[in-house]
Amino acid sequence: MAGTIDARLKELGLTLPDAPAPAANYVPFVQSDNLIFVSGQISQGEGGLIKGKLGADMDVPAGAEAARRCGLSLIAQAKAALGGDLDRIARVVKLTGFVNSTPDFTDQPKVINGCSDLMVEVFGEAGRHARAAVSAPALPLGVAVEIEAIFEVK
């Protein structure tokens, strides 16, 4: 039976991707007490990796969409960690977002808003979180955005 969060995803017209497998020697998530730490999720959509460098060949709206896609993968990983029950998420505690950007690009927060806004759309007030949005000169496989998350669970 689908829970409240699954119903909300459906209402928003959102489909979670399969929880991506780790690309190296790490695990996709770790649960410690009532916190789930989700490893960084890179920007990818149905067509594959979302690559680009903000301030060079990608604009803020495209970067925000890449961040939103990272957010869907973060939620998919949390769902996998919780045996499919997203209603166990009590709060999105923190997001740390990395933006592949030029040295003079300063709108990293606007890019990571793509993920932050998604968390509030899906989880309501429990989706409001602490956050960091930082620049990176390069990200794995040339992707535009990578975001990691910490979720509190019931």
Using one digit for the tens of pLDDT, what is the confidence trace for 97-144?
A: 999 999 999 999 999 999 999 999 999 999 999 999 999 999 999 999
pLDDT bucket at 69, cuts 50 / 70 / 90:
very high
- Indicate if the pLDDT at residue 1 is higher than 50: no
Cβ neighbours, 10 Å, residue 2:
12
Q: CB of 97 within 8 A of CB of 133?
A: yes
For the chain, the domain total comes to 1
Tokens of 37: 């730490």
Q: Tell me: the pLDDT tens digits for 72-101?
A: 999 999 999 999 999 999 999 999 999 999
pTM of the shown model: 0.96
68-82 burial by CB neighbour count: b if 16+ within 10 A, else e?
Answer: bbbbbbbbbbbbbbb
Residue that wins the pLDDT comparison between 72 and 23: 72
pLDDT bucket at 2, cuts 50 / 70 / 90:
low
Q: In this predicted structure, what is the pLDDT of residue 78?
A: 98
- Indicate if the pLDDT at residue 67 is higher than 70: yes
pLDDT bucket at 23, cuts 50 / 70 / 90:
confident
Q: Tell me: the pLDDT tens digits for 31-56?
A: 999 999 999 999 999 899 999 999 99
Residue 1 lies in a domain: no
- Kindly report the average pLDDT of the chain as a whole number: 96
Residue 61 lies in a domain: yes
Give the CATH number for residue 47. Answer: 3.30.1330.40
Domain residues for the domain of 140 are 42-153
Residue 68 lies in a domain: yes
Residue 106 lies in a domain: yes
Residue 145 lies in a domain: yes
What is the SS3 assignment for 21?
coil
